């Protein structure tokens, strides 16, 4: 299901890389997506609390829906984990299941980013030679910190739920819009 959910974002990233890099990097876009996806998370959390939640494994249809939702994370200001958790909650999955699948979905993204960086490090004549010991240390440090961060996040969600993240995104979006209007 992880492979299926990863396919849409890989395809969209490949096809829309130029558009994203050239047209969607403004503070107004980031402020808008921060607010919009904060509201969507809030709606999904509220809706999820009112309906019985699915405890079954992620189905192929749900994986595809979550994967399509993950494409929005290519737009600056859209949290990849936030949008995939939102999609999972919208489908009725319990918060822990939606969060778990979201974090598992980060594995191909991280591996893809590492692969891309390695290709760049091995790049052309004009690029300096890679220091493999630093790259290995960075990879290990990132993996260890990601593991502990995810474990902490699961405990945090159990204690406080997802609504504080909704309020954070709404507040951040308002601050960002304030900056846009001041400029």
141-171 per-position pLDDT tens digit:
988 998 898 889 889 888 998 999 999 999 9
Question: Could you tell me the pTM of the whole model?
Answer: 0.82
Sequence-distant (≥ 6) Cβ neighbours of residue 150 within 8 angstroms: 103
Secondary structure in 3-state letters for the chain: CHHHHHHHHHHHHHHHHHHHHHHCCCHHHHHHHHHHHHHHHHHHHHHHHHCCCECCCCCHHHHHHHHHHHHHHHCCCCCHHHHHHHHHHHCCECHHHHHHHHHHHHHHHHHHHHHHHHHHHHCCCCCCCCCHHHHHHHHHHHHHHHHHHHHHHHHHHHHHCCHHHHHHHHHHHHHHHHHHHHC
pLDDT tens per residue, range 31-80: 999 999 999 999 999 998 887 778 788 899 999 999 999 999 988 889 99
pLDDT of residue 10: 86
| Model confidence at 25: pLDDT above 60 | yes
Is residue 99 within 8 Å of residue 155, measured between CB atoms?
no
Nearest to 79 by CA among 41, 24, 28: 41
| Model confidence at 127: pLDDT above 70 | no
């Amino acid at each position: 299901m992880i492979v299926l959910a990863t396919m849409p974002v890989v395809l969209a990233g490949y096809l829309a890389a130029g558009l994203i890099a050239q047209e969607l990097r403004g503070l107004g876009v980031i402020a808008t997506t921060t607010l919009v996806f904060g509201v969507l998370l809030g709606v999904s959390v509220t809706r999820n609390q009112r309906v019985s939640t699915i405890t079954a494994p992620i189905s192929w249809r749900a994986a595809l829906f979550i994967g399509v939702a993950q494409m929005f994370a290519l737009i600056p200001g859209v949290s990849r984990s936030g949008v995939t958790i939102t999609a999972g909650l919208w489908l009725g999955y319990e918060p822990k299941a939606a969060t778990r699948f979201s974090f598992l979905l980060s594995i191909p993204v991280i591996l893809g980013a590492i692969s891309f960086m390695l290709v760049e490090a091995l790049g052309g004549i004009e690029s300096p030679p890679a220091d493999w010991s630093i790259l290995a240390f960075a990879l290990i440090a990132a993996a260890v910190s990601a593991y502990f961060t995810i474990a902490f996040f699961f405990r945090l969600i159990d204690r406080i739920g997802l609504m504080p993240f909704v309020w954070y995104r709404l507040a951040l979006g308002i601050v960002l819009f304030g900056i846009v209007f001041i400029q």
